[in-house]
């Protein structure tokens, strides 16, 4: 098993290095003639106004909260699913109960209008 993780580590390094090397080679091969107009920020031909990195209204932050709940839920459910063959019906029903409580949460959010894009 350690070998498998070593392979993953090697593979990640190679996966990062390959595109980086390709970009580097292309950077050496390509022409380099920057000028101020070419380097200006693209905005439909007019000059950009103000800063780009402004505070922006993230309309989906409630979705983010619900996502967090479900993501944590699935972390609990994966071990349960992997051990499914050894479980008795009672243990399965317990997990179903756990899921149904979260479904209740989803329905509540739905009724409260949290799932509407505003």
Partner 1 sequence: MDFWTDPYLFLVNWLHGLLVGWGLPDAIASFILMFAGAFVLAMGAMLFVLGLIWFERKLVGRFQDRFGPNRVGPWGIIQPLADMLKIFTKEHITPAGVDPLPYNLGPVLAVAAVLAIWAVLPFTISLVGADLDVSVLYVVAIGGLGEIAVVLSGWGSNNKYALLAAFRSVAQLLSYEVPLVIALLVPVMLSGSLSLNQIVREQGVWYIVLAPVAAFIFFIASIAEVGRSPFDLTEAESELVAGFNIEYSGLKFGMFYVADFLHAFTISLLFAVLFLGGWRGPYAEQYPLLGLVYFMLKAGAVYFINIWMRASFPRFRIDQMMGISWKLLTPLAIGAVILTAVIDKLLPGGELLPYGDYVRVGVMLGANLVLVVIAGALMALQKRKHMLQEFPIAASKGFTVRDVSVNRGTK
Report if residue 101 touches partner 1, rule: CB under 8 A.
Answer: no
- Choose, by CB under 8 A, the member of 72, 92, 104, 112 that binds partner 1: 92
| Residue choice 45, 47, 71, 113 for contact with partner 1 (CB under 8 A) | 71
Q: CB of residue 31 vs partner 1: minimum separation in angstroms?
A: 5
What character string, x for contact with partner 1 (CB under 8 A) and - otherwise, covers 8-47?
Answer: x-xxx-xxx-xxx-xx-xxx-xxxxxx-x-xxxxxxx---
Q: What is the nearest approach in angstroms of partner 1 to the Cβ of residue 94?
A: 11
Binding flag, residue 111, partner 1 (CB under 8 A): no
The three-state (H, E, C) secondary structure of the chain, written as one string? CHHHHHHHHHHHHHHHHHHHHHHHHHHHHCCCCCCCCCCCCCCCCCCCCCCCCCCCCCCCHHHHHHHHHHHHHHHHHHHHHHCHHHCCHHHHHHHHHHHHHHHHHHHHHHHCCCCCCC
* Sole binder of partner 1 in the list 46, 59, 111, 113 (CB under 8 A): 59
């Amino acid at each position: 098993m350690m070998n498998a993780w070593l392979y993953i580590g090697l593979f990640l390094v190679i996966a990062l290095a390959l595109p980086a090397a390709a970009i580097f080679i292309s950077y050496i091969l390509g022409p380099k003639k920057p000028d101020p107009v070419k380097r200006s920020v693209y905005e439909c031909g007019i000059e950009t106004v103000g800063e780009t990195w402004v505070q922006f209204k993230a309309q989906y932050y409630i979705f983010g909260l619900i996502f967090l709940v479900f993501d944590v839920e699935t972390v609990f459910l994966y071990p349960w699913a992997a051990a499914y063959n050894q479980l008795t019906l009672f243990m399965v029903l317990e997990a179903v109960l756990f899921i149904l409580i979260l479904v209740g949460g989803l329905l509540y959010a739905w009724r409260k209008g949290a799932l509407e894009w505003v």
